[in-house]
Structure 1
């Protein structure tokens, strides 16, 4: 895995070493991290943690399960095999192809390796189980510690991936000294379900904690880097104010820095206004809203307006008004919440009994501005 050079990357070597030290000391073989989207989590994993692991003598495998949400097992097997036997990846899938053929089918194997498989989703998940087992056995032969980083790991919480999750846990359980695992994700609710629900394959398997977020030091570093290339350096106070206005979201702040650099003569205020307009582009939010049921929209609207107890009598009365139906029962908000916090939608996270928060604060602002659910 090559270490890419990005002059705008804010390195966090101490944080990377802290995670590796926890693994090195044998305190744990797995841990879970969560942070909402655009907070710099994936960038840290790929550009800080994995390179540090390689320098420390680990093999390093990274997979983002959002790259193939339908087939996480195949993505996991490919990542592990690529880390442990990169030159033999084609042979790895070729060897697996023979038994998998018996499932019958056609289609494409990972990374464009052609096969004659035409499997439905259930069969592809079956094919993924032996693939994971074979990849872990290949890791055994490498005789080198492996750091497996699973980004957007909450995909594994989906019911259709239960067989893959069980197979992965079984394989990792017997390899704790040699394979260290970091589960990361953008949905706190889905990750908590993975690790705290008794029936879940990864129940009690890894401690879950928030990813340490970027703050003033990050802003200072961006301002310093900007000063090296800009004709009109950005004032630190303006940058800090912009970071706060953008809800301390690193990716949005990078958009702001980019806009300022391209149009320095317009100043910080205009760069911030442009960035905020880009952030609040509602095209994606409108698409999500349109795909939801009216009941789900009603629950979201109540939550966005600050209703604390979504299961209470007052909330039920408001739901009946929004849906214009007296037939709405107490089960309605519970059913909607299960969908809204589930691995597929990941729109809300539980903070207490009946109380939930939005995974994306900008989406909450967008929803709160709506007058109706239609």
Structure 2
């Protein structure tokens, strides 16, 4: 398996997660962080290897890649862990034409196994096949870590029946199947675990993912300075990290840009990346697809607006929409519902909202400048 030179290992954090399962007091944990913050990299390159070293086999599935049919994708990932040779039969039993499915399982002694197949839109039978996969896992009785990335996809109404079946299957196997629910939508994940009507109500504690900070920047600077004759200073690197909203993915773009042209300097590299981040993320397309009321709410949140339902806020929203009278309270309420359903904003507490993607917030703030 190739080594990622630019990966920042976090073995202590990974061991903390494994230890929490080994103590036997919980069988599932939920964690959230907005996209591009290093969550998936940690899960795949730190947590799963740590689990394998502790005697687990592991299955990883990213539901963002399988939003149309998360049930079938999860079944395939579990089947691959239970019996890698049986995956082709599962796909045949699902009777799916090829389109898109990505699932992964890392099996001790076999390295990393990855499944990519296509699932179309015809209805399949994931629940009976889920039962089959679980029965095969029962026979092996080997500890399994199931990592469900972008797990908020399961909260969709169309996935409710499968989600109930999945919980029931996991409920009776807590002694040997441990689950990480990870996602980028705090609002949806909280709903998954906090609403009595949801299949996974009270099934896992939800916590913020521990974000990368100074030590990460320091390690990356050290790596950069190993391969360049023009050293990058910690001051310039820390400034860039902060300007890029402490986002590891964007910071690595900055490092790449700096290494591509070190003589131009850190400031030039930062300017280039900021233009890419705020210009190449397809924000304009997202903006144009929104209703005018949704755009108005985003503008107010981006500019620091908190009370979106008061008279002043509704007057401000009316002005943005070109109306003479304040909008009704239902206008921002409906807009917020749509925006949260699209994972564009999240609710921090009553009356306080923020963008899921801070880069989008910056784009909205500066779109007319």
In structure 1, C-alpha distance between the alignment counterparts of 2:18 and 2:189, rounded to whole Å: 21
* Alignment: residue pair count: 354
1:253/1:302 CA distance change after superposition, 3 Å: same
Deviations 1:33-82 (A, max 9, x none): 00111110000000000011111110100000011101000111111111
Contact 1:13 1:48 in 2 (8 A): yes
The alignment status of 1:348 with 2:322, answered yes or no, reads no
Deviations 1:154-212 (A, max 9, x none): 11111111112111111111111110000001111111111111211111110000000
Summarize the alignment of residues 10-29 of structure 1 with structure 2, pairs less than 5 Å apart.
Answer: 10-29=8-27
- Secondary structure, aligned partner of 1:198: coil
1:58/1:235 CA distance change after superposition, 3 Å: same
In structure 2, C-alpha distance between the alignment counterparts of 1:134 and 1:239, rounded to whole Å: 51
Contact 2:311 2:326 in 1 (8 A): no
Summarize the alignment of residues 3-42 of structure 1 with structure 2, pairs less than 5 Å apart.
Answer: 4-42=2-40
1:334 paired residue number:
333
In structure 2, C-alpha distance between the alignment counterparts of 1:268 and 1:25, rounded to whole Å: 47
Contact 1:90 1:113 in 2 (8 A): no
Contact 2:283 2:360 in 1 (8 A): yes
* 4+ residue runs over 6 A deviation: 112-115
Contact 1:59 1:84 in 2 (8 A): no
Which stretch shifts more, 170-179 or 269-278? 269-278
TM-score by length of 1: 0.89
In structure 1, C-alpha distance between the alignment counterparts of 2:340 and 2:58, rounded to whole Å: 31
In structure 2, C-alpha distance between the alignment counterparts of 1:200 and 1:118, rounded to whole Å: 25
The alignment status of 1:360 with 2:350, answered yes or no, reads no
Summarize the alignment of residues 1-374 of structure 1 with structure 2, pairs less than 5 Å apart.
Answer: 4-94=2-92, 97=93, 107-108=97-98, 110=101, 119=122, 123-124=123-124, 127-281=125-279, 284-325=282-323, 326=325, 328-342=327-341, 345-370=342-367
Deviations 1:210-244 (A, max 9, x none): 00011111111111111221122212222112111
Shift of 1:262: 1.3
1:9/1:65 CA distance change after superposition, 3 Å: same
In structure 1, C-alpha distance between the alignment counterparts of 2:249 and 2:226, rounded to whole Å: 21
TM-score by length of 2: 0.90
Alignment root-mean-square deviation, CA:
2.1
Shift of 1:310: 1.2
Deviations 1:91-121 (A, max 9, x none): 3344xx2xx66xxxx6238557689x872xx
In structure 2, C-alpha distance between the alignment counterparts of 1:86 and 1:174, rounded to whole Å: 23
In structure 2, C-alpha distance between the alignment counterparts of 1:178 and 1:64, rounded to whole Å: 22
Contact 1:246 1:276 in 2 (8 A): yes
